[in-house]
Amino acid sequence: MQDKGISQAVIGRLPRYLRYLGDLKENGVERVSSQELSKLMSVTASQIRQDFNNFGGFGQQGYGYNVDYLYTEISKILGLDRQYNFVIIGAGNLGRALGNYLNFERRGFIFKGIFDKDPELEGREVRGVKIKNISELESFLKANNIDIAVLTIPKTGAVGLVDVLVSNGIRAIWNFAHVDLDVPEGVQVENVHLSDSLMKLSYNISRYEGSKN
Amino acid sequence: MQDKGISQAVIGRLPRYLRYLGDLKENGVERVSSQELSKLMSVTASQIRQDFNNFGGFGQQGYGYNVDYLYTEISKILGLDRQYNFVIIGAGNLGRALGNYLNFERRGFIFKGIFDKDPELEGREVRGVKIKNISELESFLKANNIDIAVLTIPKTGAVGLVDVLVSNGIRAIWNFAHVDLDVPEGVQVENVHLSDSLMKLSYNISRYEGSKN
């Protein structure tokens, strides 16, 4: 396929391109050169051209890229030209925060259900979706076409859930649990380990302090 | 300094080592070989040795590494041998979720304040910390020794805040706002762009589907 062998590093940069192109669109900009994009995003123009060449270059002609076209093509590459249904498992603050985040909806990620083991939370609503007991998860997955499970529960619970999710058709797990999940081939996992990110921050703080001594 | 020129890729892997070593400690394991660690973490043993050699190798002698020693040394490298005070700006679900996350406290990240522009939220408590109005932020930063600001507000608000934060001694920003921040040299920024992470997931889903056709 077209993007065979494209590194996750390149893929990881596409959402950022999309963000800047979205801003340009909002500002009514119709064409942008790699030099302009380079200034905006503070990456080199050659980096941008290299990244884009992975996908055929997006036909830069005359003066720069067509912003609309570029935005649409990158959206397609990122699989944003379709809808994904997701459920959230864990209705704590983080789970509710993600359920309430409307931008996901705009991108085609549709919030279908939220589950928790705490009976206290049952029936409360997150953006119009009632919190269900975790015991209803399996039957819910069988009855609905859910693509993505978002895990916002402690690591012990997360590991035990993977089999239920995978055997009921979940194709991707967005994992906020502080553990690496072991999934069969073909099931995608994207980890958001918040503590890891915070540790990188403390590393960079102390390294900078150190470099001053 | 010892870690001069160590790539962020290596640094990015250290928290994961720390997580596995923490589990080994909890299970009372005293020594571990790079081969065992390699199996546990499904990375190659040579990758592990290469990573550790950046820091002098952590003196693997005889049978493997001393788990306690390795855990302590990696903690030090990550700057976890000291405390950091942080404030959260944006008391929505995400901000409150981060304020309630006790693991940060265990790592030495101390939750000192939380601010929001919404007067409705003023006075409510997040883990014993009263939500203050954003108008009190500057005086709070002057009166307290805050290292890290966590931004859980929309991008428009985030950009405008950077000057206030930096000019009042903030050394690091943990940025959840969906925008790249422009900060002076010496101020550390770690971005958590949740939408970007979700797009990588949709890319990998659709790529996998595509590869099956």
Q: For chain B, what is the HEC assignment?
A: CCCCCCCHHHHHHHHHHHHHHHHHHHCCCCEECHHHHHHHHCCCHHHHHHHHHCCCCCCCCCCCEEHHHHHHHHHHHCCCCCCEEEEEECCCHHHHHHHCCHHHHHCCEEEEEEEECCHHHCCCEECCEEEEEHHHHHHHHHHCCCCEEEECCCHHHHHHHHHHHHHCCCCEEEECCCCCCCCCCCCEEEECCHHHHHHHHHHHHHHHHHHHC
- Is the Cβ pair B174, A197 closer than 8 Å? yes
* pLDDT of res. A3: 47
Tokens matching residue A42:
């503070």
Q: B84 to chain A: which residues are within 8 Å by CB?
A: 202, 205
- Is the Cβ pair A84, B202 closer than 8 Å? yes
- Is the Cβ pair A198, B8 closer than 8 Å? no
- Is the Cβ pair A203, B18 closer than 8 Å? no
A65-66 and A31-32: which strand pairing?
A: antiparallel
- What is the CATH T-level fold of the domain B8-77, as seen in this structure? Arc Repressor Mutant, subunit A (1.10.10)
pLDDT above 90 for A37: yes
- Is the Cβ pair A172, B107 closer than 8 Å? no
Q: B185 to chain A: which residues are within 8 Å by CB?
A: none
Question: ipTM score here?
Answer: 0.88
- Is the Cβ pair A15, B200 closer than 8 Å? yes
B199 CA: distance to closest CA in chain A (Å): 6
**pLDDT-flagged residues of chain B (< 50):** 1-3
Task: Tell me the mean pLDDT in the region A182-210.
Answer: 92
* pLDDT of res. A57: 76
* CATH architecture assigned to B84-196: 3-Layer(aba) Sandwich (3.40)
The pLDDT tens digits for B12-50 are 899 999 999 999 999 999 999 989 999 999 999 999 999
Report the range out of A54-58, A87-91, B31-35, B53-57 with the highest average pLDDT.
A87-91
Look up residue A6 and give its amino acid. Answer: I
Contact A184, A171 (CB under 8 A): no
Q: In chain A, pLDDT over 90 holds for what percent of residues?
A: 75
Q: A188 to chain B: which residues are within 8 Å by CB?
A: 201, 204-205, 208
Burial class (CB in 10 A: 0-12, 13-18, 19+), B33: middle
Report pTM: 0.89
The pLDDT tens digits for A110-146 are 999 999 999 999 999 999 999 999 999 999 999 999 9
* pLDDT of res. A102: 79
Task: Tell me the mean pLDDT in the region A156-161.
Answer: 90
* pLDDT of res. B192: 94
**Torsion, CA B2, CA B8, CA B10, CA B13, rounded to 10:** 120
Measured CA to CA in angstroms, residue A171 lies from A11, A86, A152, A162, B207 at distances of 19, 10, 17, 11, 12
Sign of CA dihedral B125, B126, B132, B138: positive
- Is the Cβ pair B93, A104 closer than 8 Å? no
Q: Rounded to an integer, what distance in angstroms lies between the CA atom of residue A186 and that of residue A200? A: 30
The pLDDT tens digits for A99-113 are 998 788 989 999 999
Q: A193 to chain B: which residues are within 8 Å by CB?
A: 15-16
Q: B18 to chain A: which residues are within 8 Å by CB?
A: 199
* pLDDT of res. B1: 41
Q: A197 to chain B: which residues are within 8 Å by CB?
A: 174, 190, 192
Task: Tell me the mean pLDDT in the region A93-103.
Answer: 90
Q: Rounded to an integer, what distance in angstroms lies between the CA atom of residue B202 and that of residue A98? A: 16
Q: In chain A, pLDDT over 70 holds for what percent of residues?
A: 96
Contact B65, B33 (CB under 8 A): yes
B174 vs A41, A171, A201: nearest CB: A201
**Per-domain residue ranges of chain A:** 8-77, 84-196
* pLDDT of res. A4: 55
pLDDT above 90 for A183: yes
Q: A186 to chain B: which residues are within 8 Å by CB?
A: 208
B111 CA: distance to closest CA in chain A (Å): 13
For residue A122, the 8-state DSSP code is T
pLDDT above 50 for A172: yes
A139 CA: distance to closest CA in chain B (Å): 23
Sign of CA dihedral A185, B209, A193, A201: positive
A17 CA: distance to closest CA in chain B (Å): 10
Contact A55, A73 (CB under 8 A): yes
B6 CA: distance to closest CA in chain A (Å): 11
* pLDDT of res. B189: 96
